[in-house]
Amino acid sequence: MAFTVYIVRHGQTYYNIYNKLQGWSNSPLTQKGIDGAKQTAEKLSNVKFKAAYCSDTTRAEQTASIILSANQVSDPKLTVSPFFREEFYGYFEGTDMNQAWYLAGAPHGKPTFKDIVESDSIGTAKDYLKEADPFHQAENNEEYWKRLDQGLDLIKGNSRIKDGDNVLMISHGNTVLSIVERFGRGKYDVTERPANGSITKLTIDDDNAEITAYNVQ
């Protein structure tokens, strides 16, 4: 059985404008974010979704509501779960993004997020950030995937999803990148952040999964 997950990054928020890390913390959608979500909703208005999922953050729930309200061919129940949250940045929540990644990567000779990813991986970036967190509460790669895998298992365990179906998942920037790094088979540039409202497709075929489109705008 194979089905496709349409992974949509939430609309633009104020923290996005201010270049702040926004994991479990939250900021409202801007008007541009609302308008962008509506544009994405229009693109997906004729895609029949058997199920829909999002994290329990306001930005994800609001984006999901906009997209599902505009859908003309389906009305799936929205499942809201903390399993789908963005990476938890711990002490660095709300910190300037460039400054946070400098503090995480510079001790390793990699002063930017891009430097870390090009040299190692997004998973390594998570580990470095937890190491730099004075409270050590940020999620490392193992902790992050232990949580997110529960979300993916929640989708795969939905008995209503059949062969050929489509599923909507409203997600977050670093989570989209993490999923693409894991399932993209090296075909995509994971140093390029996905745009707000962009669409990434993940095809799940039994125990196999592969990214078939990334950052479609």
- The set of residues, in sequence order, having a beta carbon less than 8 Å from that of 87 and lying 6+ positions away, is 23, 126, 138, 139, 144, 172, 174, 175, 178
Domains of the chain in sequence order: 2-22+29-86+145-216 (3.40.50.1240)
The first and second tokens of residue 164, run together, are 């050929």
- The DSSP annotation for 166-212 comes to EEEEEE-HHHHHHHHHHHSTT-S-TTSPPPTT-EEEEEEETTEEEEE
pLDDT, one tens digit per residue, over 69-99 is 999 999 999 999 999 999 999 999 999 999 9
Write the pLDDT tens digit of every residue in 102-131.
Answer: 999 999 999 999 999 999 999 999 999 999
Q: What is the pTM of this model?
A: 0.97
The C-alpha atoms of residue 108 and residue 14 are separated, in whole angstroms, by: 31
Catalytic residues: 10, 86
